[in-house]
Amino acid sequence: HDEMFGDFDGDGRAELVFWNQGARTLFLADIPPDPKAAQPWPLTVIYSWSTGREHEGLAKADIDGDGNLDIIGGGRWFKHESQTKFRCTVIDDAQRFTRSAAGQLKEGGLPEVVFVVGDGRGRLKWYECKGSPEESDSWIGHDLLGYDVVHGHSLDVVDINGDGKMDIFCGEMHTPGAGAECKLRVFYGDGGGGFSEQVISVGIGNHESRVADLDGDSDLDILDKPYTADTPRVDVWLNTGLVSK
């Protein structure tokens, strides 16, 4: 909880990155030439912790602008330095047990990062870098709502309305979660750090909901499903209008 693929060591081949909460470790697994063969995938330890809240959430982006993909998760970001060595930079240690997303929320400069508590209560915050991304003090957080999100287990940074500016998508779980008050939201970005909120639904649970073009009309739609309440269930929200750029 969680996993993602990408080329994180710059060798031109994809790797699998995953958290193992039991081992308190973030691993990178090299994919062998025959991934279907019954053999262990070689593992590299990216990061481990010994005390405090467990870590989760993964996203990928070129955080420092060097042309290489970096790893975001657990309130941190991880840069490959050499061989099996990765550098860890804390963005916000209070955001260990969170969902993660990243993208160009403010036009120009380095990507921004978004964290929200996926299993519990906490603030939905986006972070911009004002200085060196390898310095924790350079990361400035902004609270989007001013109050807690409850089990915000769905999170992404995408251009929902097609205006060329990145938006934030976030959905709350029902049970466990906010129950009848759980919300699916989109925060439309203006490209300068401002956001306007739209509530898509209330009372419909979201667990790992996704944004994609579901009907082939070249805009982004939403696919959501609950965790436990009202299962089995799948809801589709079709995007019926884009903003002219």
Residue 213 and residue 112 share a domain: no
In the predicted structure, residue 245 carries a pLDDT above the cut 90: no
In the predicted structure, residue 34 carries a pLDDT above the cut 80: yes
**Angle at Cα 188 formed by Cα 185 and Cα 192, nearest 5°?**
140
Are 55 and 77 in contact by the 8 Å Cβ rule? The answer is no
Are 189 and 167 in contact by the 8 Å Cβ rule? The answer is yes
CA distance readout (Å), 201 to 140, 151, 237? 30, 15, 10
Residue 109 and residue 2 share a domain: yes
Q: Give me the number of domains the chain comprises.
A: 2
The pLDDT-based confidence of 112 (bands split at 50, 70, 90) is very high
Residue ranges making up the domain that contains 215: 151-245
Would residue 80 count as lying in a domain?
yes
**How confident is the model at residue 38, as a pLDDT?**
81
Tens-digit pLDDT profile for residues 37-54: 888 999 999 999 999 999
Would residue 136 count as lying in a domain?
no
Tens-digit pLDDT profile for residues 179-232: 999 999 999 999 999 999 999 999 999 999 999 999 999 999 999 999 999 999
**How confident is the model at residue 241, as a pLDDT?**
77
In the predicted structure, residue 242 carries a pLDDT above the cut 90: no
Tens-digit pLDDT profile for residues 117-153: 999 999 999 999 999 999 999 999 999 999 999 999 9
The pLDDT-based confidence of 243 (bands split at 50, 70, 90) is low
Burial class (CB in 10 A: 0-12, 13-18, 19+), 182: buried
Point out the domain boundary residue: 100, 116, 132: 116
